[in-house]
Structure 1
Amino acid sequence: MSDLLAVPSYSETKASSSSESLLGDLTPPRYTPSPPAPHYTSEPKRDELTLQEARRPNALPSGSFVTSAGPLTLEIAHQVDGVSTPTLNARGRLRGTLALDMRDRSSIIGVTLTLSGRMILEAAGAGRETVTLLKETHDLWLDQGPVPSLVPIDIVVPSTFVDNDGEVRSLPPSCDFTDEPMGPAAPVSAQVAYNLSIVVERERRHGIFSQTKSLTTPFELVPRTRPDHGIIPVPSFFSTMKTSPEEWHQAVSEIATNPASGVQSLKSHLFLPAGKVYWIGDAIPFHLSVTGPSTSLHALFPSESAAGAPSTGAQITVKVLRQIAVTARKHRAVRNVIIGHGTLRSVEPFSSARGEQRDWDGFVQFTPFTKSVPTIRSVLSRSELKMDNNSTVCGFNVGSLVVKDFIVLEIKPVSPATSPFHTHQNPVFVRFTTDPYVESYGPDQPS
């Protein structure tokens, strides 16, 4: 008991006009039960405001895809009307119906649906290699009484597979990189294809003829993705760079020179929207700045002559390059394909601070200016790059087939053999998505 604190004694105090204790006059207030929590709803009430929403995918198509084989008719929902091949989304659902136009359905003992996929690879003439991506069978109906004439289909589309090394990977999208001409390079090809098969099995009555009916159709697997950030409107690069510098990613690289020339190197600054994740149909704004000593800038970008002769400056191109790397039979080969081009237009750079010198001499097709240090000049370009929005195949990595995309800046001297500068390339890895960024969505779009 020695560890316990002693309770101090208090003397009782009474009011002079009453014999009742002061504590006897104090009673706890009355409490009423709190009202139950309101039912959850995704839509705000009149006095509520939505602060943040998770982005939802685009609304599913309202059409359907229909194909037939003998007495079997397959209808797949949520498709674009008139397409020749249905499209399924990884991690999505395959919904539809199977119609059985059979007089005697009592002999049917099973209806199955199989999703299959394979990848065919060829690298550097080492021969082809086939990889099984998908082989999944679902029972639509078993021998459990008379089969209905319309069999419902509701199946979760798988999203992963196990490669030859035992690693779990995401299923690649349907693609075919075999159509482009190879030229003198070694063959590099890859094809990813998926099929849907339905088999209706019936009892053998005479043991001679097969009682199995089947239907097979290819389908496109398109894992849907979208950027988590939109591209801000760019009325002026300089204004957005001041107010929202976090909206830009800067890739800096050196434009090297031949050491024997005595010409100093330059710096290229390529600005892309931050995140480097864009919808494949986006027009991507970018900015280019080339900085360095004025003598080096003049050597790479000579100005027009006094007689008005055309500029002999370096050629600047910005393009989208897709790199396809294939590994087959322990041989690896890489092929580069240009899938997008940029257009350039020179713009006037941001004015230097008041009192600082600006020099516009000697440059053609560009607008040189003087920064805070008079010996440093810059050449800026502004452009937009338009992707082919008919394509829906984005980059992916499944080990033996890797598809990467780059935005590549190339600066090539007019006469590489005599120029003090080497041809300059600055590749920036980017990712493209199948769906655009959406600021808001309507009530008809699924969650």
Structure 2
Amino acid sequence: MSLVLPPNYFPTSSPPRYSYLLPEGEETVEFTPRGNAPTNVLVNITQTCSFLTIILKDQNPAEECPTYGRGSTIHGEIGLRSSASVLSVSIKLKGRLRVSISDSGSATIPVVSESAVLWSQDSAHKIICPSVLPFSIVFPTTFKHGDRIRSIPPSFSEAYYQLPAISAQCSYILKVTIHNSSKMAFWNPSRSYSLWLNYRPRTRPQRPVYHLDRFLATLKQIPEDWLESESTMRIRRTDSLDLKPVSCRFFFPSVGAFGLSDTIPFHIQISSSLASLRLLLSSEIPNSGTERPSVRVFITRQTVVEVNTRKCWRTATLVEGRVRAIAPPIYATAVEGADMYVDWEGEVRVEKDMVQYGGFNIGTVVVKDYIVFAITPPNPRSCPLLAHQHSVPIKLVTDVWTDGSTSHPLDT
């Protein structure tokens, strides 16, 4: 058997250095830029107790407590009031998820557990601990629960007291522990101080929400930017041959993900026989002194909690949209036996002060958001038309889509 040597290899020049600046002849095809940097000037936050002072750097003064995003680094300084008897100083970043269902028990799941020793007399060259100790610790992005690796959830707290009552809470703290020497051999005193942190991972939609004046013009120009959801408003059994089920078409932006400050436009079109539409849109409610809105669009949030293999969920309405009727075209005429059309338009918006975080799924807790279209006849108890509600899942994210001239694919 002959020995075959591999071919000779010659060293090549090193690959060109990557740069986010476009050289001549190159162009960016597509990218999703990050939102603009916060307009607030970042400051240092100081927390003080009887035996130490903690300084957290680069914080937004508009936030109620220190806030960090996905993969952020917590960095700052710890100042000791007295360091003469200190044996060691350590910090620990802790995150805990607590869930409960009133008839199924409760559970506590560790989400984050990161620790670091800032100074120790055993490993230090100095006998006396420095009075100021800088520190830096990184927020992990994932945690392991069971056999799954999941993203760590944002800070949140939800509680619903309808039976069975459910609650879910995820909290993060930074704990500083100081071990001191003692003259008594059986007692090793230590003191701790905990600081609550707010974890807010930022997310954005992959493209913007377009707002044009007229829905029909937009639908013809860029139909891919609208998502159509069809449903049917059913009727009770009736002897009338003129009454038919009402066909409902609900349109909203197809991007599906919306920032907490985004205004979501929508369009509604229903069609049925003239008799059904007259019955549905009648403004007179027999035996009632008030009128109920017949068409609604709102956003709901569903929270699902699982404890000991038992799942329980609750749904809450976040915000109600504004709905405006659209006058029919002047050329529209009623044709015997043909369906008639009625249209509405409007918008719905979730404010940041109402919702602090977007939807997520960590198995034990699932938070989902829906945009809901509901239409109710004037007298739902006696009307042959049945009240109708149709939900479409959406994703609420923390930031809106922005396109700044300084953004680039490096900024992700």
Which category describes the TM-score, using the shorter chain as reference length?
Answer: 0.7 to 0.9
Larger radius of gyration: 1
1:71: how far off? 3.0
Per-residue CA distance 1:382-429 (angstroms, 9 max, x = gap): 111121221222111111211111111111112112111111011010
The one-letter amino acid of 2:97's match is M
Q: Does 1:55 align with 2:33?
A: yes
Residue in 2 that maps onto 1:175: 156
Residue among 185, 200, 203 paired with 1:225? 203
Confirm or deny: 8 A CA contact 2:231 2:249 kept in the other structure: yes
Q: TM-score, normalised by structure 2?
A: 0.84
Which residue number corresponds to residue 302 of structure 2?
Answer: 323
Distance of 1:57 and 1:99 partners within structure 2: 35
Query: Which residue in 2 is equivalent to 1:429?
Result: 393
Query: In the superposition, relative to structure 1, how do residues 110 and 245 fare at CA in structure 2: closer, same or farther (>3 Å)?
Result: same
Displacement of 1:374 in angstroms is 7.6
Partner of 1:160: 142
Structure 2 equivalent of residue 267 of structure 1: 247
Write the letter of the residue equivalent to 1:414: P
Q: Is the 8 A contact 1:303 1:311 kept in 2?
A: no
8 Å CA contact 1:302, 1:313 repeated in 2: no
CA distance in 2, matches of 1:259, 1:101: 81
CA distance in structure 1 between the aligned counterparts of 2:284 and 2:366, rounded to whole angstroms: 45
3-state SS, counterpart of residue 238 of structure 2: helix
Going from structure 1 to structure 2, the CA distance change for 1:350 and 1:115 (only over 3 Å counts) comes to farther
Aligned-partner residue type, residue 285 of structure 1? P
Alpha-carbon distance between aligned partners in 2 of 1:65 and 1:313, rounded to the nearest angstrom = 51
**2-structure distance, mates of 1:74, 1:304:** 66
Q: Which runs of 5+ in 2 are unaligned?
A: 1-12
Give 2:8's aligned residue.
none
- In structure 2, the CA distance between the partners of 1:241 and 1:135, relative to structure 1 (3 Å rule), is same
What CA deviation, in whole Å up to 9, does each residue of 1:311-363 have, x standing for no partner? 97971111111111112233322111111111111123567xxxxx6227xxx
Higher mean displacement: 52-61 or 148-157: 52-61
The offset of 1:245, in angstroms, is 0.6
What does residue 78 of structure 1 align with?
Answer: 58
Equivalent residue number for residue 229 of structure 2: 251
Task: Give the distance between the partners of 2:70 and 2:172, measured in 1 at CA.
Answer: 12
| Deviation sequence 1:4-23 (CA, Å, 0-9, x none) | xxxxxxxxxxxxxxxxxxxx
CA distance 1:441–1:122, shift in 2 (3 Å): farther
Question: In the alignment, what sits opposite 2:4?
Answer: none
SS of 1:81's equivalent?
A: coil
1:358 alignment partner in structure 2:
332
Do 2:283 and 2:378's aligned partners in 1 also have CA atoms closer than 8 Å?
Answer: no
Q: For 1:328, give the aligned amino acid.
A: V
* Number of equivalences: 387
For residues 279-310 of structure 1, the C-alpha deviation after alignment (integer angstroms, 9 at most, x for no partner) is 012111111111122222222123789xxxx9
1:385 aligns with 2:366: no
Q: Report the 3-state secondary structure (helix = DSSP H, G, I; strand = E; otherwise coil) of the residue aligned with 1:257.
A: coil
1:281 corresponds to which of 251, 257, 261? 261
CA RMSD of aligned residues (A): 3.1
When residues 343 and 42 of structure 1 are mapped into structure 2, their CA distance, relative to the original with a 3 A threshold, is: same
Gaps of 5+ in 1: 1-34, 352-356, 361-369
Counterpart in 2 of 1:400?
364
Deviation per CA, 1:246-288: give whole Å up to 9, x if none.
1111111111111335421111111111121000121111111
Amino acid paired to 2:333: D
- 8 Å Cα contact 1:177-1:190 kept in structure 2: yes
Q: Flag the 1:200–1:145 CA change in 2: closer, same or farther, 3 A.
A: farther
Task: Give per-residue Cα distances to partners, 1:39-90, cap 9 Å, x unaligned.
Answer: 6543346887655444125426612222123332222222122644211223
